[in-house]
């Protein structure tokens, strides 16, 4: 399962009968300039989105991604790596037009699907551009924090983690 050529069909609370084909190998053939520091599995293990992510769509992704994932039925800030709230509601994302179809859960859902091997050129291009633009947060941490001081700007560090950047800069 989860090899190039597989067709994934999604039936969860946010999508019904959505299918896509894996056209790239798991974790490989990323676009030039797109080099996330973390895999979706590692992000879920470290603690993102207050544990309230992928709860109803685990069947879409490899089971081992969830073996050590910090998941909860209710948002729980203590599950975030930096123990701080660092997410906005899906409603806010929708109001700001940050949701790019066909991924109704946002950037992380796109990244999980991209990591699996789905490719949709125009969607990928937009999401990778958003990821690149998020690097400004790493720059703010470098400019305002002493190296190794993880208590400096924990909200931005949590946000970096949720965008697959290294939050330990």
Asked if residue 132 is part of any domain, the answer here is: yes
Percent of the chain with pLDDT over 90: 82
Residue 74 and residue 57: Cα distance in Å, rounded? 15
Residue 60 and residue 167: Cα distance in Å, rounded? 27
**Structure confidence by residue, pLDDT tens digits, 106-161:** 999 999 999 999 999 999 999 999 999 999 999 999 999 998 899 999 999 999 99
How crowded is the C-beta side of 41, counted as CA atoms within 13 Å?
12
Asked if residue 62 is part of any domain, the answer here is: yes
Mean pLDDT of all residues in 4-15: 95
Asked if residue 27 is part of any domain, the answer here is: no
Residue 93 and residue 14: Cα distance in Å, rounded? 15
Asked if residue 60 is part of any domain, the answer here is: yes
pLDDT at 91: 84
**Cis preceding-peptide flag for 102 (omega within 30 of 0):** yes
Asked if residue 51 is part of any domain, the answer here is: yes
pLDDT at 88: 77
pLDDT at 117: 98
Mean pLDDT of all residues in 47-59: 90
Domain that holds residue 127: 7-16+37-162
> What pTM does this model have?
0.95
pLDDT at 1: 78
Asked if residue 31 is part of any domain, the answer here is: no
Asked if residue 64 is part of any domain, the answer here is: yes
pLDDT at 116: 98
pLDDT at 93 over 80: no
pLDDT at 85 over 90: no
Asked if residue 128 is part of any domain, the answer here is: yes
* Average pLDDT across the chain, whole number: 94
Q: How many other CB atoms are there within 10 angstroms of residue 73's CB atom? A: 8
Q: Look at the chain and report how many structural domains it folds into.
A: 1
């Amino acid at each position: 399962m989860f090899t190039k050529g597989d067709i994934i069909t999604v039936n969860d609370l946010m999508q019904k009968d959505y299918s896509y084909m894996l056209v790239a190998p798991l974790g490989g053939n990323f676009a030039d300039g797109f080099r996330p520091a973390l895999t979706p599995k590692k992000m879920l293990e470290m603690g993102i989105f207050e544990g309230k992510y992928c709860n109803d769509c685990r069947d879409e992704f490899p089971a081992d991604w969830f073996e050590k994932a910090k998941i909860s039925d209710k948002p729980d800030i203590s599950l975030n790596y930096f123990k701080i709230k660092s997410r906005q509601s899906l409603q806010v994302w929708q109001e700001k037009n940050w949701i790019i179809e066909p991924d109704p859960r946002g950037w992380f859902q796109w990244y999980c699907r991209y990591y699996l091997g789905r490719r949709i050129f125009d969607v990928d291009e937009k999401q990778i551009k958003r990821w690149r633009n998020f690097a400004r947060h790493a720059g703010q941490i470098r400019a305002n924090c002493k190296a190794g001081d993880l208590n400096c700007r924990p909200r931005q560090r949590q946000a970096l983690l949720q965008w697959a950047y290294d939050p330990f800069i």
